[in-house]
Structure 1
Amino acid sequence: MPYKRTVSLVAALTLGVTLTACTGNTPEPQGGGNQSGGVKVANDEPGKKVVIGFSAPAADHGWMAAITDAAKKEAGKYSDVELRVVEGTNDPNLQISQVETFINDKVDAIVLLPFDGAALTPVALKAMKAGITVINVDRQFDSPFAARSTVLGDNYGMGVSAGTYVCERLKDKPGSVVAEIAGIDSLPLTQDRSKGFAQALAGCGLKVGNRVAAEFTVESGERAAANLLQAAPKIDALWNHDDDQGVGVTAAIKNSGRSEFFMVGGAGSANVMREIKADNGPHKATVIYPSTQGADGIRLARLAVQNKSLGDLVEVEIPRQVQLYAPVVTKDNVDRYLPTAFES
């Protein structure tokens, strides 16, 4: 998407939100189930009891821990939801066994963030054939028949958002040096983020001059950043794909004594947002990859089992797929996003 077109789209969306907020029929926030969504709607009224099984990978990463925590909190808002959470695991065979148990227990729905989407597809298909509503989160199954609905982040959109922000900051500085610290290069999500970033930069005549890959960990982030800083004597902007590995990236920057560039984070951790708000470090923005996906999966599972629709849609069924937006968080809007941020 060309740079000017991207900026115009963002401006139009912002204007739309502003106009919506000013209309007289915007409902006022109320108490009750739908707190994180802003207002209480008819769908939040208690209905048929829904037993939901929840399974996700091990919480060995701040974002992943937040996924499960948000799902638990969301289920706790509804008196008609019973949530059964199994221990997070990075073993596909153990996760398959967990889903088999849910099937044998005849739960009403399963919200599943698979460690490996392909490996979990057959058991998800089995659950669907047994009449259990499956909501797929973040990592997609191989078959469209394995889930009633899928909740996704937008990895390509993260790159576009980060690149657009960098273009806005450097639009009067042609020839600026842009660097990138990616995650695990073999993963499609990393490839999508880098592709979106490169294409957004191309729209304003910039490109990535220095790039290294890390492993979504603090240690790998520090190591990759140290190598990058040594190889690049001058940088104007740096995008780091992941705020967890960004803890290490920030440490390496501090150790280097470098301060000539600004940094854009990725995923949306609370510690990075606090730094953005304080304006006392290299981070001037971060791009959100929502850790609310599991919570959204809980809501969709409840609505699907109770034969309800999404309150703000005319359609009488829940969507087949929901892809969440990747907004840029800056000092100007950080207070809006801090409440749902995860801790690195």
Structure 2
Amino acid sequence: MPTNTSRRGLLFGAAALSGGALLAGCTSNESKDEDTGGNEQQVADDKPGKKVTIGFAGPQADHGWLNAINDNAKERAKKYADVTLESTEGSNDTAAQIGQVETLINKKVDVLVILPADGKALTQVGLKAMKAGIPVVNLDRVFASPQAYRCWIGGDNYGMGLSAGQYIGEKLKDKKNARVVELAGLDNLELTKQRSKGFDDALKNYPNIKKVARQAADFTVESGQQKMSQLLQAQKNFDALWNHDDDQGVGALRAIKQAGRDDFLMVGGAGALSAFQAIKADDGVLKATVLYPPTMAASAIDLARALGQGKGVSGMAEFEIPSFVTCYSAVVDKDNVEQYMPTGFK
């Protein structure tokens, strides 16, 4: 996979890893369990505790979602009086990021949160941190070895496609010979294949629906506009569009407006603020978007803090945090868009 400085080098092949669910907004739960002989489970909460220095090595903010990852991590760290965040300058260059992580290891931070520019290339430095006794929270793009991290948290690419397909399926289930098209991302990325597979699997439950066209774009506004124009020219009649990415969706919407088309519904992906605003306005084809939430970076800070303090997660019986946390790909439409509006990225 290329490791250039565009988003394509940072969109992730780690799809739906099964695992525990992180419960946000943890509260104190240090009561004694009579059935376990009075053992106390220490869980992370908002009250100041043991001081923890978290090293954060994130991406270069050259895309809305990536910028939101960095912002979510930094804002979450500010929430805790007992957390010091050592943040590197974001980089999509693997050699530079390896050097940044090694600097954090040499500083002897308590925990590391790493969104690698290239999961395979940074595996060795993840192993180095773990061997040095510094637990690693691997954010979204997974390392090649599970020994390189203590916990993985990330998005569900297959689930994105599944949710999009189910939403469209329910909207079109009573329409005879319904036709849908797909504006995918980069086809050489595993995440794109997973999103398309989830979408196709969902549509299998709706025999009245046929996918009649698919075009791969480039996760940019320009590519979205160009590829959507091609789809519109080739397909004069369809009922729904699923677009994998809200940033390229900005361009897709431009093409749709230029073509004067309003005869289908559109579902986006990721959770951009512009998409939420369009859904709320409800005056165009965009009716929903499927989340790939950048809030996972905030949750990664929560997990890192819990690791540094030797605590578990409220709402779970285990004394330790889970090994895997897969974020749910929720559908945001006009019925719940107000709830998600604060999480939208620019």
TM-score in terms of structure 1 length? 0.88
The superposition leaves residues 53-95 of structure 1 with CA deviations (integer Å, 9 ceiling, x where unpaired) of 1111211110110000010000000000000111111100000
Shift of 1:312: 1.2
Shift of 1:37: 4.0
Partner of 1:148: 150
**Alignment check: 8 A CA contact 1:272 1:283 kept:** yes
Q: Secondary structure at the match of 1:178?
A: strand
Alignment pair present for 1:240 and 2:240: no
Q: How does 1:304-315 map to 2 (within 5 A)?
A: 304-315=307-318
User: Once superposed, what is the RMSD of the aligned Cα atoms?
Assistant: 1.2
One-letter code of the match for 2:239?
Answer: D
Partner of 1:175: 177
One-letter code of the match for 1:334?
Answer: V
Alignment pair present for 1:273 and 2:276: yes
Partner of 1:285: 288
Match of 1:100 among 99, 102, 107: 102
Q: 1:284 and 1:118 mapped to 2: Cα distance?
A: 37
Match of 1:221 among 220, 224, 230: 224
Q: How does 1:295-306 map to 2 (within 5 A)?
A: 295-306=298-309
Shift of 1:115: 1.0
Q: 1:64 and 1:71 mapped to 2: Cα distance?
A: 11
One-letter code of the match for 1:49?
Answer: K
Q: 1:99 and 1:179 mapped to 2: Cα distance?
A: 42
The structure with the largest helix share of the pair is: 1
Partner of 2:13: none
Shift of 1:41: 3.8
**Alignment check: 8 A CA contact 2:59 2:70 kept:** no
One-letter code of the match for 1:281?
Answer: G
Shift of 1:336: 1.1
Partner of 1:322: 325
Q: Secondary structure at the match of 2:310?
A: coil
Q: 1:72 and 1:184 mapped to 2: Cα distance?
A: 29
Match of 1:334 among 314, 332, 337: 337
Match of 2:186 among 175, 184, 187: 184
Q: Secondary structure at the match of 1:177?
A: strand
**Alignment check: 8 A CA contact 2:48 2:80 kept:** yes
One-letter code of the match for 2:306?
Answer: L
Q: 2:322 and 2:254 mapped to 1: Cα distance?
A: 42
Q: 2:245 and 2:204 mapped to 1: Cα distance?
A: 22
Q: How does 1:1-344 map to 2 (within 5 A)?
A: 37-38=24-25, 40-41=27-28, 43-205=45-207, 206-343=209-346
**Alignment check: 8 A CA contact 1:198 1:207 kept:** no
Shift of 1:174: 2.4
Shift of 1:341: 1.4
Q: 2:80 and 2:238 mapped to 1: Cα distance?
A: 49
Q: 1:38 and 1:298 mapped to 2: Cα distance?
A: 13
Q: 2:108 and 2:70 mapped to 1: Cα distance?
A: 22
Q: 1:147 and 1:128 mapped to 2: Cα distance?
A: 7
One-letter code of the match for 1:185?
Answer: D
Q: 1:175 and 1:315 mapped to 2: Cα distance?
A: 50
Q: Secondary structure at the match of 1:44?
A: coil
**Alignment check: 8 A CA contact 2:27 2:314 kept:** no
Q: 2:316 and 2:27 mapped to 1: Cα distance?
A: 15
Q: 2:244 and 2:229 mapped to 1: Cα distance?
A: 16
Q: Secondary structure at the match of 1:301?
A: helix
**What percent identity do the matched residue pairs reach?**
56
Q: 1:164 and 1:214 mapped to 2: Cα distance?
A: 22
Q: 2:28 and 2:249 mapped to 1: Cα distance?
A: 38
Any unmatched runs of 5+ in structure 2?
Answer: 1-22, 30-44
One-letter code of the match for 1:98?
Answer: Q
Q: Secondary structure at the match of 2:267?
A: strand
TM-score in terms of structure 2 length? 0.87
One-letter code of the match for 2:278?
Answer: E
Shift of 1:40: 4.5
Q: Secondary structure at the match of 1:65?
A: helix
